[in-house]
Structure 1
Amino acid sequence: MKKTLFILFVTFSTIANAQNTVANTATDISPLLIGEKIPNQTLKSAENKDVRLSDLVGKKKTVLVFYRGGWCPYCNLHLANLAQIEDQVLAEGYQVIAVSPDSAENLKITEGKDKVKYTLLSDSKGELSSAFGISYKAPQNYKSVINVHSNGVNKDFLPVPSVFVVDTEGVILFEYISPDYKNRISSELLLSVLKNLK
Structure 2
Amino acid sequence: MSTTPATIGAQIAEFNVGFTETIGPELSAVFAGEQADLRAAGGPENAVSVGDVLPSAELVATSGSPIGLDGLLAGRPAVLVFYRGAWCPYCNITLRHYDKTLAPGLAERGVSLIAISPQTPDGSAAAVTNGELGFTVVSDPANAFAGALGIVTAPSAEAQDAHTALGFAVKDSNADDTPAIPYPTVIVVGADRVVRFVDIHIDYTTRTETADILAAVDAR
Same structural fold, with TM-score higher than 0.5 when normalized by the shorter chain: yes
TM superposition score normalised by structure 1 = 0.81
Q: CA offset at residue 26 of structure 1?
A: 6.7
Question: Percent identity over the alignment?
Answer: 24
Q: Which amino acid counterpart does residue 109 of structure 1 have in structure 2? A: A
CA 1:188 to 1:133, structure 2 compared with 1: closer, same or farther past 3 Å?
same
Counterpart check, 1:35 vs 2:51: yes
> What's the counterpart of residue 155 of structure 1?
178
CA distance in 2, matches of 1:123, 1:157: 11
Spell out the pairing of 1:1-198 with structure 2 (5 A cutoff).
27-85=43-101, 86-140=103-157, 141-142=159-160, 145-150=169-174, 153-197=176-220
CA distance in 1, matches of 2:215, 2:81: 17
* 1:101–1:146 CA contact under 8 A, matched in 2: no
Q: Which amino acid counterpart does residue 194 of structure 1 have in structure 2? A: V
Q: CA offset at residue 95 of structure 1?
A: 0.7
CA distance in 2, matches of 1:193, 1:37: 17
Paired residue secondary structure (1:27): coil
TM superposition score normalised by structure 2 = 0.73
Q: Which amino acid counterpart does residue 76 of structure 1 have in structure 2? A: N
CA distance in 2, matches of 1:119, 1:159: 18
> What's the counterpart of residue 18 of structure 1?
none
| Structure 2 gap segments, 5+ residues each | 1-40
CA 1:116 to 1:26, structure 2 compared with 1: closer, same or farther past 3 Å?
farther
Paired residue secondary structure (1:126): helix
CA distance in 2, matches of 1:132, 1:195: 23
Q: CA offset at residue 29 of structure 1?
A: 4.1
Moved over 6 A (4+): none
* 1:107–1:121 CA contact under 8 A, matched in 2: yes
CA 1:28 to 1:192, structure 2 compared with 1: closer, same or farther past 3 Å?
closer
CA 1:147 to 1:49, structure 2 compared with 1: closer, same or farther past 3 Å?
same
| Higher helix proportion | 2
CA distance in 2, matches of 1:185, 1:43: 23
Q: CA offset at residue 122 of structure 1?
A: 0.6
Q: Which amino acid counterpart does residue 27 of structure 1 have in structure 2? A: G
CA 1:77 to 1:66, structure 2 compared with 1: closer, same or farther past 3 Å?
same
Q: Per-residue CA shift, 1:114-152, capped at 9, x if unaligned?
A: 11111111113111110010002332233862211125x
Paired residue secondary structure (2:141): coil
Q: CA offset at residue 70 of structure 1?
A: 0.5
Q: Which amino acid counterpart does residue 135 of structure 2 have in structure 1? A: Y
* Number of equivalent positions: 172
Q: Which amino acid counterpart does residue 102 of structure 1 have in structure 2? A: Q
* 2:196–2:216 CA contact under 8 A, matched in 1: no
> What's the counterpart of residue 16 of structure 1?
none
* 1:29–1:136 CA contact under 8 A, matched in 2: no
